[in-house]
C-alpha cells in the first residue's frame, strides 16, 4: 500500500457507504479515465469479469470463435467458454512474446477460406508482463477483417505504445487490480472503452441488468460484477502510487540486466522496440537453450528454491493446457512453447529490500560458478 488508501476507505466508513457503487467507485473510474486517456471506465469485481462482459456485449455465443493469444493466463480464455464459444489459439512473436500478427493473419485467412469468418467474433491480444503487443499490426488486421479487439491489459496498466496506453487501442480494454498485479484493490478490475453506450451497458449488465423502473425488472441476463466502494477506495489510493510502482518494477528489471551483464549471461527478454514503454510488472527472462543448454532454466529455478528464493516458470500456453485439449491452434514456430520451456520469472516485488537484492545477486553469482 502507498499510504493514501486508508483515507478513502475511512471516508467510506464515515459515510457508511459499504456497498457496491458509491463515491469511491465513481472516483476510481474518473482516475482510470484520466490516467489512461479513455472516455469511459467501469470498475468491476475482477479482470476476468471485465473480459466476460466485453465478449457478452460483442455478442459472442454458442458456435462462435474468439482468436486469443495462447501464451497467457487462463483468465484471458475462460470467459470465451462461459459464453459457449470456442477459443482459437494464436502463437506469440519473439519481440514482445505476445500475439504474432503474422499468425493472426494466417488464422483469419483460414476462417475466410472456410467461409466461417462471420463466426469469428473477437480477437484478444494480451500485453503480457506489462509489455505491449504489436497493436498497430493487430489493429490493421482487425479493421481489414472487421473483427473487434478486446485488449487484455490486466498486466500492463501504465504501459504505452508510442505514448498511447495499452487497453485503449481496441473496442474494449481490460485492467486487473487483483492482489498480484502492479497495483491492487485486493480484488477487482475495470472495463474501458471510448464507446460510452457500451460501457453504460457494461455497468447495467454488471448490476444484474436491472431496468429503469421503481420495481425490480429485468429484460436481460446480468451478472453481479460491480466493484465495492471499499475496494474502490483502496484503488484510488493505489492510483496515486502507480507511476512510482512502475518505476520500481522497471528498476528491478534494469538491475537484473546489470547482474546478467556482469555475469556475462546473454539473456533474451521482451524488447522495448517500436515505441514500447513497458511497466515491467514481472521480471521475466528467456534462457536460450542454444546458449545456456536445455537444463539451465530448471537447474537455476531449483537452485534458487534451495536458497528459499522463489522464481517461477512463465505462463504455460493455453493450447498445451489439459482443459483446452483439442482446441484449434495456429503457430508454426511454436514460440510460446519455447518461451514457456526456457523462460523464468525472477523475484519482482515493488518492495524488494537491499538485503533481498544482495541474496538474489549472490545466488545468481554462485550459480554461474557451478
Ligand X SMILES: *Cc1c(COP(=O)(O)O)cnc(C)c1O
Give, to the nearest 10 degrees, the angle between helix 229-239 and helix 5-14.
150
Q: Which is nearer to ligand X, 65 or 97 (CB)?
A: 97
For the bound state, the minimum distance from the C-beta of residue 355 to ligand X, rounded and expressed in Å, comes to: 29
For the bound state, the minimum distance from the C-beta of residue 365 to ligand X, rounded and expressed in Å, comes to: 31
> Can you list the positions of beta strands (E) in 86-144?
86-90, 120-124
DSSP secondary structure of 98-112: SB-HHHHHHHHHHHH
Q: Which is nearer to ligand X, 59 or 179 (CB)?
A: 179
Q: Which is nearer to ligand X, 88 or 227 (CB)?
A: 227
For the bound state, the minimum distance from the C-beta of residue 292 to ligand X, rounded and expressed in Å, comes to: 27
Q: Which is nearer to ligand X, 48 or 279 (CB)?
A: 48
Q: Among all residues, whose Cβ is closest to ligand X?
A: 47
**Whole-number Å distance between alpha carbons of 28 and 185:** 10
Q: Which is nearer to ligand X, 201 or 318 (CB)?
A: 318
For the bound state, the minimum distance from the C-beta of residue 83 to ligand X, rounded and expressed in Å, comes to: 16
Q: Which is nearer to ligand X, 108 or 190 (CB)?
A: 190
Task: Give the distance from CA 295 to its chain's centroid.
Answer: 29
At 287 the three-state DSSP class reads coil
Q: Which is nearer to ligand X, 5 or 152 (CB)?
A: 152
User: What is the grid cell recorded at 124?
Assistant: 484478444
Q: Which is nearer to ligand X, 126 or 276 (CB)?
A: 126
For the bound state, the minimum distance from the C-beta of residue 315 to ligand X, rounded and expressed in Å, comes to: 8
Residues counted in the chain: 370
Side-chain-facing half-sphere of 37: CA atoms under 13 Å: 10
Looking only at the bridges linking them, the beta strands covering 172-176 and 40-44 are unpaired
Query: Using an 8 Å Cβ cutoff, are 165 and 36 in contact?
Result: yes
Helix (H) or strand (E) holding 42: strand 40-44
Placement of cell 503457430 in the chain: 331
Query: Using an 8 Å Cβ cutoff, are 186 and 169 in contact?
Result: no
For the bound state, the minimum distance from the C-beta of residue 10 to ligand X, rounded and expressed in Å, comes to: 25
Give ∠ CA 305-310-313 in degrees, rounded to 5. 95
Give the closest residue to 77 by CA, choosing from 68, 205, 147.
68
For the bound state, the minimum distance from the C-beta of residue 329 to ligand X, rounded and expressed in Å, comes to: 18
For the bound state, the minimum distance from the C-beta of residue 112 to ligand X, rounded and expressed in Å, comes to: 28
Note the residues at the interface with ligand X (CB under 6 A): 46-48, 72-73, 75-76, 126, 152, 154-155, 176, 178, 189
Amino acid at each position: 500500500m502507498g499510504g493514501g488508501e486508508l483515507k478513502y476507505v475511512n471516508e467510506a466508513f464515515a459515510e457508511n457507504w459499504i456497498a457496491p457503487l458509491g463515491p469511491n467507485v465513481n472516483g476510481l473510474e474518473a482516475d482510470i479515465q484520466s490516467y489512461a486517456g479513455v472516455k469511459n471506465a467501469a470498475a468491476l469485481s475482477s479482470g476476468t469479469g471485465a473480459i466476460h462482459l466485453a465478449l457478452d456485449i460483442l455478442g459472442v455465443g454458442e458456435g462462435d470463435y474468439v482468436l486469443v493469444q495462447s501464451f497467457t493466463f487462463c483468465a484471458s480464455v475462460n470467459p470465451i467458454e462461459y459464453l459457449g464459444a470456442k477459443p482459437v489459439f494464436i502463437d506469440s512473436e519473439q519481440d514482445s512474446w505476445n500475439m504474432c500478427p503474422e499468425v493472426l493473419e494466417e488464422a483469419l485467412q483460414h476462417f475466410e477460406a472456410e467461409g466461417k469468418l462471420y463466426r469469428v467474433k473477437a480477437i484478444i491480444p494480451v500485453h503480457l508482463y506489462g509489455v505491449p503487443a504489436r497493436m498497430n499490426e493487430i489493429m490493421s488486421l482487425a479493421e481489414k477483417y472487421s473483427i473487434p479487439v478486446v485488449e487484455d491489459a490486466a498486466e500492463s496498466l501504465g504501459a504505452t505504445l508510442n505514448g498511447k496506453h495499452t487497453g485503449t487501442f481496441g473496442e474494449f480494454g481490460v485492467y486487473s487490480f487483483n492482489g498480484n498485479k502492479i497495483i491492487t484493490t485486493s480484488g477487482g478490475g475495470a472495463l474501458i472503452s471510448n464507446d460510452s453506450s457500451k460501457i453504460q451497458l457494461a455497468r447495467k449488465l454488471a448490476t444484474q441488468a436491472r431496468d429503469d423502473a421503481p420495481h425490480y425488472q429485468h429484460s436481460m441476463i446480468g451478472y453481479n460484477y460491480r466493484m465495492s466502494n471499499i475496494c474502490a477506495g483502496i484503488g484510488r489510493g493505489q492510483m496515486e502510487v502507480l507511476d512510482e510502482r512502475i518505476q520500481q518494477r522497471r528498476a528491478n528489471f534494469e538491475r537484473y540486466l546489470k547482474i546478467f551483464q556482469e555475469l556475462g549471461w546473454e539473456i533474451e527478454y521482451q524488447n522495448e522496440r517500436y515505441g514500447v514503454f513497458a511497466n515491467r510488472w514481472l521480471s521475466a527472462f528467456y534462457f536460450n537453450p542454444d546458449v545456456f543448454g536445455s537444463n539451465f532454466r530448471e537447474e537455476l529455478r531449483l537452485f534458487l528454491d534451495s536458497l528459499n528464493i522463489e522464481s517461477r516458470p512463465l505462463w504455460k500456453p493455453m493450447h498445451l493446457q489439459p482443459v483446452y485439449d483439442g482446441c484449434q491452434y495456429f503457430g508454426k514456430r511454436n514460440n510460446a512453447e519455447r518461451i514457456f520451456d526456457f523462460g523464468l520469472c525472477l523475484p519482482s516485488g515493488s518492495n524488494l529490500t537491499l538485503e533481498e537484492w544482495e541474496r538474489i545477486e549472490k545466488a545468481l553469482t554462485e550459480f554461474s560458478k557451478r
